[in-house]
Structure 1
Amino acid sequence: MTKLNMTKKRWEAIKNNDKNENDVFIYAVKSTMIFCKPSCKARLPKKENVTLYNDFQDAINLGYRPCKKCNPMGKHTEEEEWCIQIKNYINKYYFEELNLEKITKSCHGS
């Protein structure tokens, strides 16, 4: 586990939602037990509650959970995956006559 030092630059990145720092570190908030990317648009935490890590696995190992707002692990939710599947299906079969029943059956929904 690599805990990083809070530098002025890193705190400014969190305060300013700097996307350029997303691949450099993540921050975990002790009061909420959530970890985020520096670009997260959630409410700014108190600086004393923030711990920095190289990657999300360190935070997970300490019991933190990923922020739902910034999705720091880069994974899609089940709903997002289903929407992507539907979009891909429509793009593939746009020339056919499509209806809701056909789409939901093909994409395993209701």
Structure 2
Amino acid sequence: MLDQNKISKDTMWEATVTCNPEYDGKFFYAIKTTGIFCRPSCKSKTPKYKNVSYFFDAANAQKAGYRPCKRCRPDLKIKKYDPLESIIEDTKRIIENNYRKNIHLIDIASDVGVSPFYLNRLFKDRTGYTPRMFLEKARIEQAKELLLTTTLNSTEVGYQVGYISISSFYNAFKRSTGLTPSQFQANYVETTTE
């Protein structure tokens, strides 16, 4: 546990106001008017200085009668908590488990509890892909696996991984690999027989 004398109250206040994640795990702040305690990085509304108390561990904040913030989850035994990470992970899991189906952004967004616009933007910011691009990536990875490990032809593989239109499958495959499915299989055979 951190010694209270090592961090000044001014430093803790500055970290609270600026939502500084560097101080997460080093102290917690509690708001007298709401009865809630938070991590310094919490993006909740900035409290008034006179209403803030500081604690050096979550247990003491709870003993003092404060309840953990639902946004920053200071009660979890992890140093940093990113509530948006669960949205990203849930979205990936939904896509990876349902890539064969005709899934839509609106349905995924509903499942993870955000708007389609917000999910699209957040997912792209965090992964570099939109959910649609991630779906295509998952489908193409599975298609490559099927092309190399089964006797299915390209058309069958396209349908197997969720494409309704074979031309869409061919275009997506070529966009991702630079090769047609047949060329991909041929290249693999050539490299394994050399």
Superposition TM-score, scaled by structure 2 size: 0.39
Letter in 1 for 2:34: T
Return the offset for 1:91.
5.5
Q: How many residues align?
A: 96
Return the offset for 1:10.
1.0
1:104 corresponds to which residue?
none
Unaligned runs of 5+ in 1: 98-110
Unaligned runs of 5+ in 2: 102-194
2:68 corresponds to which residue?
66
In terms of fraction of residues, the more helix-rich structure is: 2
Superposition TM-score, scaled by structure 1 size: 0.64
2:38 corresponds to which residue?
36
Distance in 1 (CA, whole Å) between partners of 2:94 and 2:41 is 32
Return the offset for 1:90.
7.5
Output the aligned Cα RMSD. Answer: 3.4
Distance in 1 (CA, whole Å) between partners of 2:43 and 2:93 is 29
Stretches of 4+ moved more than 3 A in 1? Answer: 86-92
Query: How high is the sequence identity, in percent, across the aligned residues?
Result: 38
Return the offset for 1:88.
6.0
Return the offset for 1:62.
1.5
Higher relative contact order (CA 8 A, sep 6+): 1
How big is each residue's C-alpha offset from its partner over 1:77-100, in whole Å with a ceiling of 9 and x where there is no partner? xxx6xx76x9669868x8x99xxx
Distance in 1 (CA, whole Å) between partners of 2:30 and 2:15 is 14
Matches within 5 A, 1:19-98: 19-74=21-76
In terms of fraction of residues, the more strand-rich structure is: 1
